[in-house]
Structure 1
């Protein structure tokens, strides 16, 4: 399907992001400008700009003599990233518990109701921006440096890893229950409980993400042998 221009570079960047997050473009896969330009029905100029944007967001990587590739979801990178995420988002939940308002808590509960209705059948995949449960809690922390780290520098990689973990059987229901526990702690304005609930949630997500990567590697090896 060819893309109709609105803001063409924005549209192409969104399409590439969806392809990466959803697995249409596989981890480590090389991105060929000529092929994508033909697929999207656009010239290579807007495509190159979109690629540069996703390089800046760490979803694409450019290396000498190898061109542009989708970020590689190695177990080592996963472990490093989720260690950082557990600490930073635990801190965000702790800070948010001390100052979040009743209206914000109510909005989080409504958000989880929406997730219950729309997200569980296909895996508990978070959309970007204000729809994202984690994004809202980070914003509620009120700490500018923490917000910048989690919503700019690490945000897209975190979404990518969260999507991979959410596709494991049984994880969607478990993740939703963990989100409810986090909101309950925030509503009680209990910093210790909020941080503990968030850390538990992310630790479980790390386990499921690791399992998803191991499964993908096993399937790839089986396909290669066949």
Structure 2
């Protein structure tokens, strides 16, 4: 292997490590494993993940750009005290993208895909009745991903996938409230019905309303930072 090939392979490996660490830290922050104000010490994190500080610094820079951490030259890096607003802003943007995906799905979905989406809704009904929040969390992701797939627009798909972890955190918080199980299910049914009817306007409106109502619900039930 020549020097150029080695350099390219090392770059790919470094990028992979950076992305993995970025995703893990982001999930830990959004899930409140690391609470607002928590000091993210680079040496400790590098040891925890078994990596050098270089990919870690790159991951922290990405998190800072998203408003999830703040960095001070003298004090270090801390989880943002205003993290809920950062996550909320990203989810508002996601609602618009998911709305477009639902609109396109209503226009492009095949009969087979309608059957697949219906099967997911049937499972959601079962686990809503049994109040199984963990299973609903998985099915929620399946439902939204299938709609993105049915939209048949790679750009929209990739944009939503890039911020998908923010939705997972929000949905987990929402499903911790029992009253949200039935409410969320009924909203998914409405989205499904609009797509089945190939009502593009109705599907987009139902999707946006569902996501934005969840944002407001979570914000209203958020615990103040200690």
TM normalised by structure 2 equals: 0.69
Stretch moving more, 139-148 or 29-38: 29-38
> Within the alignment, does 1:158 sit opposite 2:167 as a pair?
yes
C-alpha separation in 1, matches of 2:123 and 2:60: 29
Consecutive unaligned residues in structure 1, runs of 5 or more? 1-7, 222-226
C-alpha separation in 2, matches of 1:133 and 1:167: 19
Consecutive unaligned residues in structure 2, runs of 5 or more? 1-15
Structure 1 residues 196 and 14, CA gap change in structure 2 (3 angstroms): closer
C-alpha separation in 2, matches of 1:23 and 1:122: 18
Deviation at 1:164, TM superposition (A): 2.9
Which residue number corresponds to residue 194 of structure 1?
203
Deviation at 1:114, TM superposition (A): 3.9
Which residue number corresponds to residue 104 of structure 2?
95
Deviation at 1:44, TM superposition (A): 4.0
Which residue number corresponds to residue 69 of structure 2?
61
Query: Aligned residues, how many?
Result: 205
Q: Which has the larger radius of gyration?
A: 2
Deviation at 1:118, TM superposition (A): 5.4
Structure 1 residues 26 and 204, CA gap change in structure 2 (3 angstroms): same
C-alpha separation in 1, matches of 2:174 and 2:71: 27
Deviation at 1:201, TM superposition (A): 0.8
Does structure 2 retain, via aligned residues, the 8 Å contact 1:165–1:210?
A: no
Does structure 2 retain, via aligned residues, the 8 Å contact 1:55–1:62?
A: no
> Within the alignment, does 1:105 sit opposite 2:114 as a pair?
yes
Structure 1 residues 177 and 124, CA gap change in structure 2 (3 angstroms): farther
TM normalised by structure 1 equals: 0.69
Which residue number corresponds to residue 174 of structure 1?
183
> Within the alignment, does 1:43 sit opposite 2:53 as a pair?
no
1:26 aligned counterpart, secondary structure:
coil
1:63 aligned counterpart, secondary structure:
strand
Does structure 2 retain, via aligned residues, the 8 Å contact 1:95–1:142?
A: yes
